[in-house]
C-alpha cells in the first residue's frame, strides 16, 4: 500500500498530533491537507491520478493535493507536492482553509482540513513532467467544460474535487481569500 508516513491529525481540542497516514484514512480522523490549483487564465490544470494509487486511482482531480508530513508547513508541503507529482515549481498564493469529509472507497475515508493554494501561469511556457506512479495524465480545462463533465460523469472525478467545485463553482479562490 504505502510507506509509513506520519501526517498531522487534529485532536478534539484543536491540537495537532502525528498519525500514520493510512490509519488516518481508515479511521476517518480529521487531518491537515493541501490542494493546489494552477490556472492559465480561466483554464485549470487537472490531473488523472495514477492507476496504482491506493485510493481514487484513475480519477481526475485538481492540479495536486496531499498531506503535510509531520512538522512540515502547508506552504512547504504544497510546493513539494507540485514538484513531486508534476515536476515543476511556481509561486503559489495561499487562500482559505476548508473542511470536508468523504468516503474514498476501499474502506477509506478522507476527513480533511485543507489549505487551498493557487497559481497563475502561462501554460505555453510551463513544462509539465508528470511523475509515473503519481499522475497518469494532465490537461487544461475551462470551467464550463469541467462542470459539464462532472455533471455527466461524476464517477470520473475524485470526491474532494467534486466537493471543491460545489463549494467554489467559479473556481475563484482569490475572491474568497
Active site residues: 65, 112
The DSSP H or E segment spanning 144 is helix 143-152
**112 appears as a binding residue in the annotation:** yes
Q: Is 44 exposed, middle or buried (0-12, 13-18, 19+ CB in 10 A)?
A: buried
**85 appears as a binding residue in the annotation:** yes
Of 83, 78, 84, 97, the closest CA to residue 37 belongs to 78
**31 appears as a binding residue in the annotation:** yes
Q: Is 150 helix (H, G, I), strand (E, B) or coil?
A: helix
**111 appears as a binding residue in the annotation:** no
The answer to whether the CB of 44 falls within 8 A of the CB of 29 is no
**55 appears as a binding residue in the annotation:** no
**110 appears as a binding residue in the annotation:** yes
The answer to whether the CB of 166 falls within 8 A of the CB of 160 is no
Binding-site residue positions:
25, 31, 67, 85, 110, 112
Binding-site residue positions for Mg(2+):
85
Binding-site residue positions for Mn(2+):
25, 31, 67, 110, 112
Amino acid at each position: 500500500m504505502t510507506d509509513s508516513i506520519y501526517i498531522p491529525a487534529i485532536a478534539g481540542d484543536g491540537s495537532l498530533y502525528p498519525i500514520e497516514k493510512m490509519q488516518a484514512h481508515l479511521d476517518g480522523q480529521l487531518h491537515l491537507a493541501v490542494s493546489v490549483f494552477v490556472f492559465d487564465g480561466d483554464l485549470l490544470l487537472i490531473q488523472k491520478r495514477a492507476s496504482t494509487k491506493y485510493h481514487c486511482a484513475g480519477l481526475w482531480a485538481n492540479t495536486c493535493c496531499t498531506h503535510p508530513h509531520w512538522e512540515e508547513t502547508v506552504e512547504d508541503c504544497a510546493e513539494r507536492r507540485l514538484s513531486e507529482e508534476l515536476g515543476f515549481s511556481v509561486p503559489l498564493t495561499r487562500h482559505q482553509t476548508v473542511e470536508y469529509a468523504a468516503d474514498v472507497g476501499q474502506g477509506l475515508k478522507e476527513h480533511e482540513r485543507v489549505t487551498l493554494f493557487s497559481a497563475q501561469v502561462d501554460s505555453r511556457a510551463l513544462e509539465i513532467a508528470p511523475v509515473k506512479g503519481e499522475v497518469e495524465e494532465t490537461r487544461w480545462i475551462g470551467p464550463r467544460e469541467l462542470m459539464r463533465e462532472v455533471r455527466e460523469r461524476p464517477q470520473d472525478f475524485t470526491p474532494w474535487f467534486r466537493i471543491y467545485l460545489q463549494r467554489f463553482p467559479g473556481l475563484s479562490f482569490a475572491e474568497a481569500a
